[in-house]
Structure 1
Amino acid sequence: MNPCLLLSIIFLLDFTSGQHERQPVSDEERHLLVLPGSYGTPPSSRLLPRCPEVCRCYSNIALCSSKNIREIPTRSLPRKVAHLFLERNHIESIPAHIFARHRTLTRISFRSNRISDSGINSRSFIGLKKLKRLDLSQNELTRFPSELPDSLSELQLASNNISEIAANLSSNFFNLTSLYLQENNLTDAGIEPGTFRCFTALKNLNLNSNLLTTFPQDLPTSLNYLRIENNQLTSLPNNIFTSPSQVHHVYLRANQLRDESIPFTVWKNMSNLYFVDISQNQLRTIPRGLSPSLRLILLENNLIEVLHWQSFWGLDNLEQIRLSFNRISQISTDVFGHLSKLRYLNLSYNKLVSVPQNLPRNILRLYLQHNIIYTVPIDAFCDVDSYSFVESKLQIIQLNNNPLDSARIPALAFYCLSSMQVLTF
C-alpha cells in the first residue's frame, strides 16, 4: 500500500475517534439543516462539540425538540447560534435576559409547549435585534404578546387561546411581513379598531378558524395574502380597503356569506386581485363588481342554480372557474363565450342535463362528472357551422357518472378534439 495513503487513513481514524459519540442525523434534522428562506451553502451536518446534552448542534443550528425539557438550555449553546428549535417540550416561561449571550439568533421556535401570558415578560427577548422568525404556535397564550423584538418579519401564534389584540401594542411591527393567528378564539370585540394600522409592511395575514362575524377594519394595504376562512362572517364591508391595495389572494371559504351581504363595492381598490375563494358559503349568484384582474375564482359548495349571461361579465382575464357542488341546472349560452383566456372549468356535482354550449376554444380542462347529462350538443366542442376547421385545445373532459345516452350523441360531437388526452364517460 502507498505509505502516504496509509498515513492518511491512520490520521483520519485518530481524528474521528476524538469526536462526540452521537446518533446519526435523523431525517427530521436533515430537513431542518436546509432552512426555509436561507441562502447560500446549507450548513454542515457535522455535530459540534459545544452543545447542551439534550440538543444537537450543527453549524449555527441547535435542535432541542421533543426532549421533555422544562427550561430553555442556553448555558451551553454555541455563542453564534442563529436557529434554535425547542418544539414539543414542556417549557412554561421565557425568563428575562435568557438570550443575553446569544444575540445572533435569527429564528426561535417554541411550537407546542406550555407558554402562557405570564410566561413572557418585557425582557424575555431583550437584545435580540436580529431575530426575524418567532414561532409560539400551540401554546397557552390568551393575549397577543405585547413585548416582542421590532426586527421580526414572521410571527406564528396559531393554535393558542388568543381572544384579543389590543390597538396599543407596545412593540413596533413595521418589519413584520407574515402574521399567523389561525385557530384561536378571536372575536369581533377582541380586535380593536385600528389594531392593524401598526403593521405597515404586512403581506400575509392568516385569521382562519376563529370566531369573527364581521370583517376586520383598517387592514394594511401592503397585504398580498388575506385568509379569513372558517369563521362566522355574515357580511363584507362596502370597501375592504379604503385606498389602493396590493392584495392578490383573498380566502373567504367556509363562512356564512349571502348574496345581499356582499356589496358591489367590496372589491373596490383591489386592482391586483388574482385569486378569490368564496366556497362553502350561502351564495346563489356570482358576486358582482369583482376586479377585472381576477384569474382564479372558487365558488364551490354554494347554492348557485343559474348562470346568467352577465355572471362573468368584465372578467376577461379569468383562467380558472370552479363551481362544483352547487345546484346549477341552467347556463345561458353566452356565459363563457367571451372568456378567451379560460383554461379550466369545473362544473361537476351539479344538476346539468346537457354539456354547456359556446365554450371558449382555448379551454384545456372541463369537468362535468356527477351531473344528470344525457346528451352532448353537436356544437358543444366543435364549431360545425364554421367554414374553416378549428381544432379544439381540450385535453381533459370528465363526463363520468352521468346518464349519457350514446344514441343521443351526434357522430361529429368530438371530431375536432385532436389534442384530447383523457375522455371519460
Structure 2
Amino acid sequence: MEKEKVCNMKIFLTTPMPFLLLLILPNGVFSSECPKDCSCPSPESILCFQRRSSTIPSGVAPSTKSLYLFANGIEGLSTDDFDGLENLEMLDLSQNKLTHLPDRVFEPLTSLRNLDLSSNQITHISDACFQGMVLLERLYLYSNHITSIHPSAFNGLDHLLELKLQGNMLTSLPTLAMPQLLLLDLRFNVLPTLGPSDLQTPNLESLKLGGVGLTSLNKELIGTLKNLHELDISGNKLESFPPALKETQGLVYLSLAGNPMGPLKVHDLQNLSELQELDISSLSLQGLPEEFSQLFPHLRKLTVAENPFNCLCNLAWFPRWLRAQSITLEKTEVTRCHFPPINSGKVLERLEHRDFGCPTTTTVTTSTVKTTTTTVPVPVTTLPTTTREIPVPRASDNPTDKEGDYPLPPDPASPSSSSIDQDNDPNFCPSQTCLNGGTCRLDQHGQVDCTCPHGTSGMYCEIQIHHPPSPPESSTTTVTPDAPDISSHQATATSILLDLHRYIEARPYIRGIRLTYRNLSGPDRRPIQLSLPSSFPEYRLRGLNPNSTYAVCASPLGDNSGIDSVCTEAHTTPDNTRGSNARIEDPKLTTMLVPALAILLVVVLIAVAVGVVCYLRRKKAKGHLELECEPSQLELDGVKAGLDNGALPHKQAQLMIPEPAVQHSNMEYEVLLLQDHCTSNNNMSSHKPPFF
C-alpha cells in the first residue's frame, strides 16, 4: 500500500504543469487567456457583450479565430488593437459608438473573412479603410450615418460575397467592381439613378433596392445581371410595371410592394414563371385576374396585404386557388375585403365561394333539375334576377366576422338603407370612395371608377390641381401651436371624423398613414387597423358603437417601431334614434296591431248589440222586474247564430266586453271579460283571457 502511494506521488510530480492546468480548469481553457469581463466558450472564441468600455479588450490570445465585441461602447480603433491576431477570421464590432475608421486599421487581420460594423455612427469610408483585407468575404456596414464612400474604398476586396449598406445616408455610390459579389443590399438610401456602370457585379444573385427613390428600373442594369434570383424594389416611386422585368427570367423572389403602379396586367408577368415568392402589397389593387393563377406554377409564398379588394364574384377563384396549390398567404390578418359592405373587413382567405355573391343558374334536363353555381365574372350592373339581395349593415349594428376576426372599418352606403338591389342601382359604390365631389361607378369588371370634377385628379380624385385642400373654418379644426397632431370632431352615435391636417403637415415625408383604433368601452378591445394615403387630411371612422370611448392612433405606413405614433381618445354620442316612434315603424309591430284593432272593433259592435237587447227587454218587462242585464240563453244563441253568419270569425266562442283592454310588454293585448255595470251569470264557466 505504501509503495502504491509513493508511485502516485512520483507521477504527479513528474507531470508537466501546463498539462495539469488543462486537467483542472473547465473546458481546458486557461483563465489568463480570457480577457476581463468576457467569456470564452471555446479556445478559439471570445465573447464580450455589454462590457462597457470604450476600447478593445487586452489579452486576446493569438490563436483566437472569432472575436465578438458587440454593444461594448467602443468609441475608437487603432492598428495596435489587432497586433498579433493573424488567425482572426470573424470580428463583430456592431452596436458600438464608432464614428471614424482609421486608414489600414484592419491590415494586421490578414485572415479576416467576416467583418460586422453595423449599427455604429460611422459617417465616411475612406480609400484605405479596408486595405490589406484580401480574404474578406462579408462586410456589413448597415444602420450607420454614412454619407459618402471613396471611389476606391472597396478596391482589392476581390473575394467579397456580401455587402450590406442599407439604412445609411448615401446619395451616390462608387463603382462596385466585385466579380464574386452575390448579395448587395442598398435599401433605404437615396439612389434613384442606378445604372450598369455603378454595379459591375456579373454574378450577383440578390439585389435589394427597396426605398431608394427609383422612378424607373434601368433596363441595361438588369440585363447585365444574368444570375439575378432575388429582386426587391419595394417602397419606390414606380408608377407602372417596370418594362425591364418583362424580359427577365430566373427570378425566384420579387417584391413590388408599396409602389403607385396600379393594377397588374397579365402580359406584364408572363416571363416570371419561376417565381416562388411574390410580394404585391400596398399597390391599391381592387382585384386580381383569374389568369393570375396560371402564371406561377412554382409559387409557394404570396403577399397581397393592405389592398382594397372588391370581394365580388370575379375574385371567388382566389381563396380556392390558394388552398389547391398549398400557397402560404403572408400577412393574412391584414389581407381583407374593402367592398361590398357585406364582406367589408373580412379576411379574404377565409371567405367561401358563396360569400362572393356569384349568381346561380338553373339547368333543366329531361330527368333532373340541377342548380349549379357559375364562376364566370358577371358585371355588377347586369346581375340576373336570381341574385339575392345583399343586406347592408346599419350604422347601429356591430359587424363581426363569423370566424371571430375583428373587421376593418368599412365605408358603408347610407345607413338608412337596409338592403341594396344591385339590379336597380348601376352606380352602387361605397360612399366616400371618391373624394372632392367625384362620382363613383363600377366598370364592367366590378372595379371602382371615379369620375373626377374639374380641378381634381387621381384614382379617387384625391389630388387637387390648383391648391391643396384646406381645413374647414370651424373652430374645432383650427390648428393652433398647442393643438394635438390628430383630433376628433363631428362625432355621431356610429362615426367619428378625424382631423389629420397637423399630423400630415408635420411629416411631409410619409407615404401613407396607418390608423389603429379600439373600443375602450366594450368587451372586445382588439385593435382594428386601416391604411390611408397621405393625401387624406380628414377621415371618418364608421360602424362604431354608440356612447363609447375609442383610442385612435396614427403612425407612418411601413413604420412598425411605434416611435412616431400619435394617439388620442374620441367619443361617440348616445344613440337617441331608438325611441317610442321606432316601435311604431317596426313592421312586426304593424302586423300585430292591425288584426288586434280589427278584433277590438268587432268586440265593440257585439257589446253594442248586447246593450240594445238588454234595453229592449227592460222596456217590455212587466211588473217592474229587475233585470241583471243578463240575456237569456235563447237570445244568446240568436246572437251567436247571427255572428256565425259572418259578423264574427268562427273561432270566437265567447262574447267579450271590450273594457278595459290591457297591453302587455310583449306587444300582446288582453281584454277583460268583467264590467263594473253588469254582473255575470253565476252558472257561467270562467274563461281564460284571450290573447291576440
* In structure 2, C-alpha distance between the alignment counterparts of 1:324 and 1:265, rounded to whole Å: 25
Question: Is 2:97 aligned against 1:114?
Answer: yes
Paired with 2:45 and 2:356, the residues of 1 have a C-alpha distance of 62
Provide the rounded CA distance (Å) in 2 between the counterparts of 1:373 and 1:354: 12
In the other structure, the counterpart of 2:261 is 283
Which amino acid counterpart does residue 117 of structure 2 have in structure 1?
L
**Aligned match of 1:350 in 332, 337, 359?**
337
Match of 1:165 in 2: 149
Paired with 2:235 and 2:216, the residues of 1 have a C-alpha distance of 13
CA distance in structure 2 between the partners assigned to 1:135 and 1:172 by the alignment = 18
Alignment partner, residue 271 of structure 1: 249
The alignment partner of 2:67 has SS state of strand
Query: Under a length normalisation based on structure 1, what TM-score does the superposition of the two structures give?
Result: 0.66
Bigger helix share: 2
Secondary structure in structure 1 of the residue aligned to 2:139: strand
Alpha-carbon distance in structure 2 between the residues aligned to 1:325 and 1:369: 17
Please state how far the C-alpha of 1:321 moved relative to its aligned partner. Answer: 3.4
Q: Secondary structure at the match of 1:241?
A: helix
Residues in 2 aligned to 1:126 and 1:71: alpha-carbon distance in whole angstroms: 18
What is the correspondence of 1:1-400 to structure 2 with a 5 Å cutoff?
A: 19=25, 48-57=31-40, 58-74=42-58, 76-117=59-100, 119-122=101-104, 124-146=105-127, 147-148=129-130, 149-169=133-153, 171-187=155-171, 190-192=172-174, 195-197=175-177, 199-215=178-194, 217=196, 218-219=198-199, 220-243=201-224, 245-259=226-240, 262-268=241-247, 270-286=248-264, 288-289=268-269, 290-308=271-289, 314-329=295-310, 332=314, 342-344=325-327, 346=329, 348-351=335-338, 353=340, 367-368=349-350, 373=355, 375=357
Determine the structure 1 residue equivalent to 2:391.
none
Q: CA deviation at 1:370?
A: 12
TM (normalized to structure 2)? 0.43
Q: Deviations over 1:48-107 (max 9, x none)?
A: 432322333331111223112222224x21120011112112323221243231100001
1:334–1:201 Cα change, 3 Å: farther
Residue 378 of structure 1: CA displacement? 7.5
Unaligned 5+ runs, structure 2: 13-19, 362-370, 375-401, 411-692
2:360–2:373 Cα contact (<8 Å) kept = no
- CA deviations 1:186-212 (Å, max 9, x no partner) are 12xx214xx122x22111222222233
**Once the two structures are superposed, what CA deviation does each residue of 1:348-390 show, in whole Å capped at 9, x if it has no partner?**
32335599xxxxxxxxx971469994646789xxx9699xxxx
Between Structure 1 and Structure 2, whose CA radius of gyration is higher? Answer: 2
The more displaced of 292-301 and 279-288 is 279-288
Q: Once superposed, what is the RMSD of the aligned Cα atoms?
A: 4.2
- The answer to which structure has the higher strand fraction is 2
SS state of the match for residue 278, structure 2? Answer: strand
Count of residues in Structure 1 that have an aligned counterpart in Structure 2: 338
Tell me, in whole angstroms, the C-alpha distance in 2 between the residues paired with 1:237 and 1:339. Answer: 33
Measured in 1, the distance between the counterparts of 2:316 and 2:48 equals 61
Greater RCO, 1 or 2 (C-alpha within 8 Å, sep 6+): 1
Report the Cα distance in structure 1 between the residues aligned to 2:205 and 2:61, rounded to whole angstroms.
37
The whole-number CA distance in structure 1 between the counterparts of 2:152 and 2:246 is 29
Aligned residues of 2:144 and 2:168 also touching (Cα < 8 A): yes
Q: Indicate the SS of the match to 1:276.
A: strand
Q: 1:180 to 1:265 in 2, by over 3 A?
A: closer
- Give, in whole Å, the separation in 1 of the partners of 2:359 and 2:406: 18
Q: Distance in 2 between matches of 1:341 and 1:90?
A: 53
Q: Tell whether the 8 Å contact from 2:299 to 2:327 is kept in structure 1 after alignment.
A: no
Q: State the one-letter code of the partner of 1:229.
A: G
Report how far residue 314 of structure 1 moved.
Answer: 4.4
SS of the counterpart of 1:242?
A: helix
Cα 1:18/1:343, change in 2 over 3 Å: closer
Q: Name the SS of the counterpart of 1:367 in structure 2.
A: helix
Check the 8 A contact 2:126/2:150 in 1, yes or no: no
8 Å contact kept, 2:113–2:135: yes
